[in-house]
Every structure is written in structure tokens, then in C-alpha cells.
Amino acid sequence: MKSWVIGNWKLNPATVSAVETLVDDLLAQTTSSQTDVAAQCQMMVAPSLLHLSPVQQKIKDTQIQLATQDVTALTAVSGAYTGDVSAAQLKDLGVQWSIIGHSERRQYYQEDNELLLQKLLHCASQGLGVILCVGESEAEFDAGDTEQVLVEQLAVVKTFLQQLLSQLNTEEVDNYISNQLIIAYEPVWAIGTGKVPSVDEVTAVHGFIRQQLQVFNAKLVQTPIIYGGSVKPDNAANFAASEQINGVLVGGAALQAQSFMEIAQAFAVK
Ligand code: 13P
């Protein structure tokens, strides 16, 4: 399985010119790199909504894919929803994926499974792939509740599949879940903190997630499960060494082309 190395730029950087510099640097590094990193691991970037278009212009003929960080839950296409952006609009712009349920959105916008289900269904209906984020808080980790939290968060995948099956035929659903679904395990306490779980801990959690997913649908045994939370060039190779870790979702270290490329390189040799 090809590894995924995805940069979530969050609300960074502050200007279009800084975004363009970041993409130019990234493209320069991918073409000058000794190994064809972009061919050996699947790279993706998720700029802010405002920066999707300029980034798309620059990467459209490259192997780097484009994701949005969010999508509206209110409609798949268009309507009277001031301030929102739909899956259809994003798809039309050339966006291929959406991050869904990042812990920052769960925390600041109280996103729950009911709302996330709508977002997942809208993405699927428009052919956008989804990167569904799950992960426990520090208090939940300390209380030993990680598995229970994951079971609750992953329950949305079961409902999503049930509803997809009522909208699409089995082949279309199989196709979608085989090619356009990624789970990102991001323990909230590891995001932006420099604290990272050990590779063994992440490996065990990913094994648990995979076991849960398989119960919903046997095909989900193949779903890429990636890790996010303080991934840096100096710890990427450790994560890449685990068979259960199919890539990474990178925040801070994705904002410098060089560190993002070093992380991608660690996964390209996997
Ligand atoms: P950091 O890599 O900055 O910890 O962020 C991780 C993250 O939230 C990616 O979605």
C-alpha cells in the first residue's frame, strides 16, 4: 500500500504570496529530489478555503493532491447558507479530498457524529474523498478511555456506509471505500505539543481501529490509517517503520517545504 503524507496547513499562512512561496518551494523540492518522492508516496496538501484556488493552479499538473479542511454539512451543492462552501463547489474547483472531523473543529464548532455524517455523505455524493479524523483528548487518554472514544467516533463510519448503500450500488460503495476513505488517528494531546505517543502505542491503536472498521465492512481492512500529532522529520522514519501506519497528517512541519519533504522521504522509502 502506498503511504499518504498529508499537510494540513490549518489557518496558515496569512497571505497568498506566502502560500505561493510554500508551494513553489515544495514543487522545487519534489523535482530536485533524488528519489521521486511524489511517485512513491502520495502527497497531499490542505490549504485554507481561501487559498485552495491559487494552490490548485500551481499543483494541478503534478502528483500532489489537494484537500479542503472542511465542507458544509448543510447541502452538497448550493443554497441559502451564508458563509458556507459545499462539496460540489470544492469538487468543481479541482479539490479531491476533504478533511472531516478534525479535533479543532470538534472542539471549536462542537462537531458531532450527526453533523459529520452529513459532511461525509455530501463529499461522497460529489466524489470527494474523505480523511476522517479521530482521536482522544489528554483526559480521555489518562483515564484509559482511548478505545471507547474511538468506538464512539468510528460509529459514524458504520452509519455512513449504511446510508451510502441506500444511495449507491454495492460496486460504487466498494469503489468509494476502497479509494476515497482515509482514517487519521490524531490524539488531541499530541497535536502541536511536541508530545508523541510511541510507535508501539500508535501501532496498537491503528490495529484496534482496523479491527473496528472490519466489523462494518470487510473491505475496510484495506483502509489507510494515518497518524497525526507532532510529526517531524526526526520522528517520521520511526512511524514509517510500522506496517500499521499508512502515512501521516502533518500540521506545523508541513508549513516548511523542506521539513514536509523530509517527512515524505521517510515514507517514500517504506
Ligand atoms: P501538528 O503536526 O502541528 O501537531 O498538527 C497535527 C494536526 O493537527 C494535523 O491535522
Q: pLDDT tier at 162 (50, 70, 90 boundaries)? A: very high
Count up the domains in the chain and report the number: 1
Ligand 1 pocket check for 38: Cβ under 6 Å: no
Q: pLDDT tier at 34 (50, 70, 90 boundaries)? A: low
Please give the mean pLDDT across all residues of the chain.
96
Q: 228 CA to middle of ligand 1, Å?
A: 6
- For residue 1, is it within any domain? no
The reply to whether 51 belongs to the active site is no
Helix (H, G, I), strand (E, B) or coil at 248: strand
Strands 181-185 and 225-228: what pairing?
parallel
Q: pLDDT tier at 167 (50, 70, 90 boundaries)? A: confident
- The enclosing domain of 120 has a CATH number of 3.20.20.70
- For residue 240, is it within any domain? yes
- For residue 2, is it within any domain? no
The reply to whether 172 belongs to the active site is no
pLDDT recorded at residue 32: 77
Interval 171-193: pLDDT, tens: 999 999 999 999 999 999 999 99
pTM over 0.95: yes
| Alpha helix positions (H), the chain | 16-32, 37-40, 52-59, 87-93, 103-108, 113-126, 138-142, 146-167, 170-179, 199-216, 233-240, 257-268
Nearest protein Cα to ligand 1, atom 7: 251
- Ligand 1 site-directed mutation target among 4, 232, 250, 260, most atoms within 8 Å of CB: 250
pLDDT recorded at residue 202: 98
- For residue 55, is it within any domain? yes
pLDDT greater than 70 at residue 33 = no
Interval 40-79: pLDDT, tens: 899 999 999 999 999 999 999 999 999 999 999 999 999 9
Nearest protein Cα to ligand 1, atom 2: 251
Alpha-carbon separation of residue 206 from 151, 211, 242 (angstroms): 12, 9, 10
- For residue 190, is it within any domain? yes
Domain containing residue 61: 7-268
Strands 65-68 and 97-100: what pairing?
parallel
